[in-house]
Structure 1
C-alpha cells in the first residue's frame, strides 16, 4: 500500500497521462498528436516523481528514443470474436492482475498477424493491448511493448466494434526501466513476427 505522498503523486501521474491522450485525440493530424505525445512523455519522464526513469538519470536528462512517425501504421480495426481466455499475472505491489480476452484484431499487411484484446479486471476495468514484435530484444524491450492500456489513460479512440491502433504509439512498460515494477507482458496471442519499427525503442 503506497503512503499518502506516493498515492497522490501516482494519482497525478495517471491524470496527466489521461490528459496527454486527450490532447492526442483532439489533433486532426495523427503525426501532430504523436509529437505532442512524445513531448508530454519526455516532460513527465524528466520531472515527475512517479516516472519509471526516476532511477535512470541519463534517461531523465536525455529522454527515451523513438522511431520516426510512420502514417501507414495507423489502423482502425474491427474487434473479432475470440475464445475466452482468463489469466492472472503478477502485478507486484498491486497484487495479481486478471486479464480476460474479449476478442482480437487483425493487422493489415505488411505487418500482418493478429493481436488479442484483453479486459483488465483491476482499476475498475480497462482495455489492454500489448505487443511483442520482431524488434523485441533487437530494437525494443525483449518482453514487448504496450499499445493500449485504458486503465492508465492510453486510449486513441474507437467505438463499440472497433479500436484505433497506431503502432507509432507503442511504448515500453515501466518494468523496462525499473525492476520494482511488475508489468503484464505480451502473451503468445500478442506476438507478431514483423519488425514494427515504430514507437518507443531502445
Structure 2
C-alpha cells in the first residue's frame, strides 16, 4: 500500500534528482571534461589549446597567448601577452575561456593541472541520466552527530595515484541500518551541513568503487540529524576519466549494502 508519506518522499526525490541531472548537463560542467594535462615549469602547448602554459613558481601558473588566440583570463580579460593566476589547492580551479572551450586551471596537492571542458564531449552529449535505486522510506534514518572537541584537517588519498586531499573532519555520525549500528566520520559541508563520504557493500558492484557522498543539513542542537540515503550521490570521477576526486576517510566503509541513492552511471566514453 502506498502511503501519502512515501508518495511525498518520491515526489520530492524526483524533483531533486531532476535538478541534479540538469546541473550535470551544464555546457561546461563536469561531464564536459575531455582532458587532464599536468603542468611543469616548461612552457608547453596542448592539443586544441593555443598559447603556452606552465608553472611559474610554487604559487602561480603562467599563460602566454596572442590576441588572435581568443584566450580570456579572469582578472585580465582577452589576453595578448602573459598572465599569471594563482589557483588554490582543494578549491575549484580558475576558469579560462578559450573560444568555445573552458580550461580549468586547478591546484591539487603540489601540482597544477589543466582540465579542458568541451560542450561537445561525448560524456555530455550522450548522457542518458543517472541510474538510481528505487526510493524507499526505510533509507530515511535518524542519526546522531557527535562533534569533535576541535575540527581537524585530515588527509585522504585521491583516485589519481600520488594526489591527496585535506578535508576538515568535524565529528562522527552514528545511525542504524536494519538494526546494525553504523558510524561515519563527518566532513564539513561546503557552505553548511555535513558531508558523509563512504563506501559500502555495493561499492565496486552496483555503485561506484571510489565511494559516494551524502550531504545533510546542519544537525540540531542535540545532535539529531536526518540521513536521507536515497540522496546519496556519485562523485565526478564516477562519470568521467579526468577527475581527481578524493577517496573516503579511513574507516568510512560500511559492511552493509546501502541499496539507495545513485548507482554506477553508464560511461559512453568507455563504449
Query: Structure 1 length as normaliser, TM-score?
Result: 0.68
Q: 2:207 aligned with 1:140, yes or no?
A: yes
In the alignment, the residues of structure 2 paired with residue 104 and residue 134 of structure 1 have an alpha-carbon distance, to the nearest angstrom, of 20
The equivalent residue for 2:16 is 37
Q: 2:180 aligned with 1:118, yes or no?
A: no
Deviation at 1:44, TM superposition (A): 2.5
SS of residue paired to 1:42: helix
The equivalent residue for 1:108 is 176
SS of residue paired to 1:146: strand
Contact 1:157 1:164 in 2 (8 A): no
Higher strand share: 2
Give the direction of change, closer, same or farther, for the CA distance of 1:178–1:118 in structure 2 (3 Å limit): same
The equivalent residue for 2:129 is 63
Q: Which one has a bigger Cα radius of gyration? A: 2
SS of residue paired to 2:255: coil
From 139, 159, 164, give the equivalent of 2:220. Answer: 159
Task: Report the count of equivalent residues.
Answer: 163
In the alignment, the residues of structure 1 paired with residue 208 and residue 142 of structure 2 have an alpha-carbon distance, to the nearest angstrom, of 25
- Residues 161-198 of structure 1: per-residue CA shift (max 9 Å, x gap): 23221111011001111233222221233210111111
Deviation at 1:113, TM superposition (A): 1.8
Higher helix share: 1
In the alignment, the residues of structure 1 paired with residue 229 and residue 253 of structure 2 have an alpha-carbon distance, to the nearest angstrom, of 14
Which stretches in structure 2 are left out of the alignment for 5+ residues? 1-6, 33-120, 265-271
In the alignment, the residues of structure 2 paired with residue 184 and residue 71 of structure 1 have an alpha-carbon distance, to the nearest angstrom, of 29
SS of residue paired to 1:53: helix
Give the direction of change, closer, same or farther, for the CA distance of 1:42–1:108 in structure 2 (3 Å limit): same
Q: Identify the structure with bigger relative contact order (alpha carbons < 8 Å, sequence gap 6+).
A: 1
In the alignment, the residues of structure 2 paired with residue 125 and residue 88 of structure 1 have an alpha-carbon distance, to the nearest angstrom, of 21
Q: 2:248 aligned with 1:186, yes or no?
A: yes
Which stretches in structure 1 are left out of the alignment for 5+ residues? 1-27, 149-154
Query: Structure 2 length as normaliser, TM-score?
Result: 0.52
